[in-house]
């Protein structure tokens, strides 16, 4: 039902579709989803409510309560300000896209139940603060995108539990400094984008644990000096 002019979904709409597996509602003008809309769709595994067109501003806590088989949720391009604790029953979720919304912060409870999560897209929100416990329960994450926010600092403990992390996007934020131990447990990291921030210097030990790093972007910062040994353990930069 993508690309229409639907502005609301009544809670009885999918009540008789118990075998529904894939649902696309993108590019409509939906403003609200009743929390019991998907209550009878227990095998639903792919849900696309992305919006180049929808106008959802709040996800109610029980919206996906009975959708424990969900693997993919796309909520990009809405006006959502808070998703806590929307995904607490979606333990099998592997891909979550909440980009292009109006989130301002994250914490441990936001994704604590999503232990199978591999790809998380939070780009182009208005996030200013990332609680260091945000990704503590997401040890399978391989791809995190937090580009295009208003983050001004990253706590050294933020990615300590994400040992499978391969791609990390932090570009277009307001970060001024990265602690030397921030990436110490991310030995599988291959791609790192920190362009368009406010770094003035990069410490010698910042990437000492990232021997698999193949691609790094630091353009459009305010870096004045780079120690000649900063990238000595990397294959390609």
- pLDDT tens per residue across span 41-57: 876 777 766 555 688 88
Residues spanned by the domain of 216: 103-228
**216 and 138 in a common domain:** yes
Domain count, the chain: 2
Between residues 49 and 95, the one the model is more confident about: 95
Peptide bond into 85 cis (omega under 30): yes
- Average pLDDT (118-142) is 97
The rounded mean pLDDT for the chain is 89
More confident residue, 146 or 56: 146
- The closest of 96, 105, 181, 90 to 141, measured between CA atoms, is 96
Q: How confident is the model at residue 33 (pLDDT cuts 50, 70, 90)?
A: confident
Structure tokens at 115: 């232990």
| Same-domain check for residues 150 and 55 | no
Residues 69 and 131 in one domain: no
**What band does 8 get if pLDDT is binned at 50, 70 and 90?**
confident
**DSSP state for residue 235 in the 8-state scheme:** S
pLDDT at 16 over 90: no
Statement: the pTM of the whole predicted model exceeds 0.85:
yes
pLDDT tier at 237, thresholds 50, 70, 90: very low
């Amino acid at each position: 039902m993508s690309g229409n002019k639907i502005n609301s979904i009544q809670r009885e709409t999918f009540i008789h579709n118990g075998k529904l597996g894939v649902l696309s509602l993108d590019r409509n003008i939906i403003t609200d989803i009743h929390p019991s809309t998907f209550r009878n769709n227990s095998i639903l595994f792919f849900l696309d409510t992305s919006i180049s067109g929808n106008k959802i501003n709040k996800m109610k806590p029980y919206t996906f309560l009975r959708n424990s088989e969900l693997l993919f949720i796309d909520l990009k391009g809405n006006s959502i300000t808070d998703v806590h604790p929307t995904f607490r029953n979606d333990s099998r979720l592997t891909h979550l896209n909440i980009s292009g919304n109006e989130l301002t912060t994250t914490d441990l409870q936001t994704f604590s139940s999503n232990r199978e999560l591999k790809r998380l897209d939070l780009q182009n929100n208005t996030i200013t603060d990332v609680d260091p416990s945000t990704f503590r329960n997401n040890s399978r994450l391989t791809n995190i995108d937090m580009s295009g926010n208003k983050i001004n600092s990253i706590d050294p403990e933020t990615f300590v539990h994400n040992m499978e992390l391969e791609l990390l996007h932090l570009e277009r934020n307001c970060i001024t400094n990265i602690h030397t131990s921030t990436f110490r447990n991310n030995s599988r990291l291959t791609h790192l984008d920190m362009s368009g921030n406010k770094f003035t210097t990069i410490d010698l030990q910042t990437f000492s644990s990232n021997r698999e790093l193949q691609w790094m972007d630091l353009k459009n910062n305010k870096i004045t000096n780079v120690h000649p040994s900063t990238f000595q353990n990397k294959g390609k930069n």
